[in-house]
Amino acid sequence: MTDPLDTTPDRRPGGRTARVRAQVLDAVRAELAEHGHEGLTMEGVATRAGVHRATVYRRWRDVGGLLVDVIAAAGEIDWQPPDTGSLRGDLTALNQEIQESLVLRPSFAVALMAASFHSEPAARAQTQLWTDRYAQCEILVERAVQRGELPATRTDARSLLIAATAPLYHQLVLLRTDPDPRLPERAAETAVLAASAGAFSVRGQEACE
């Protein structure tokens, strides 16, 4: 006999439940691809998924909840940072990847950012995903140091990566500048020049995790 106040009774993750989840998440991605983040509505997702509205509301609460689940699914694919043989090449390739994802219309990435302004859980999920990706990319910097491309002084990898990638997000998302095919390379090159000049050298012992 289970206590009715028990917050964790038996769950049923399999069978129909899993099928409904898959249908709904597919519907979310399809709606995003078709109408962008603007056209992403609970009603539309439910209809496309062939599921009742109330079901979507109960399990995902709101649009932000749907995005959280989609982001979680996106975080599960094993993404690998580029490895071209030089820091400049790696950062350029990374930036090209970013630019591609931001220029796509409608952009899944931009939809996530937009949604993050409206849903705290979605914002946390997205922040987590980005944090992971930047952490993964730190190996680019380590490899560059090993190759002797950067001074032997400890380099703040995260700051370097942000310096290299931030202009892309700024220009394409916030400033809405027309995409410039040279931008990924230029931003990467700028970051490398700054790094070579010691811009990201860590003086003290911070950055130790």
Partner DNA sequence: ATCTTAACGCGACAGCTGTCGCCCTAGGTC
Partner DNA sequence: GACCTAGGGCGACAGCTGTCGCGTTAAGAT
Least distance in angstroms from the C-beta of 164 to its own copies: 10
| DSSP codes joined into one string, 84-151 | -SSHHHHHHHHHHHHHHHHHSSS-HHHHHHHHHTT-HHHHHHHHHHHHHHHHHHHHHHHHHHHTTSS-
* Phi then psi dihedrals of residue 176, to 5 deg: 55, 40
- Contact pick of 5, 175, 178, 181 for its own copies (by CB under 8 A): 175
Check binding of 118 to its own copies (CB under 8 A): yes
- Count of residues that bind DNA according to CB under 7 A: 28
Q: Which of residues 41-70 bind DNA (CB under 7 A)?
A: 41-43, 50-55, 57-59, 61-62
Binding map of its own copies across residues 152-171, x = CB under 8 A, - = no contact:
-------x--xx-xxx-xxx
- Chosen from its own copies, DNA, none, partner binding at 42 (C-beta under 5 to 8 Å by type): DNA
SS3 call for 11 = coil
| CB-neighbour burial class of residue 125 (10 A; exposed 0-12, middle 13-18, buried 19+) | buried
User: Which residues would be at the binding site for its own copies (CB under 8 A)?
Assistant: 37-38, 110, 113-114, 117-118, 123, 127, 130-131, 159, 162-163, 165-167, 169-171, 173-176, 186-187, 189-191, 193-194, 196-200, 205
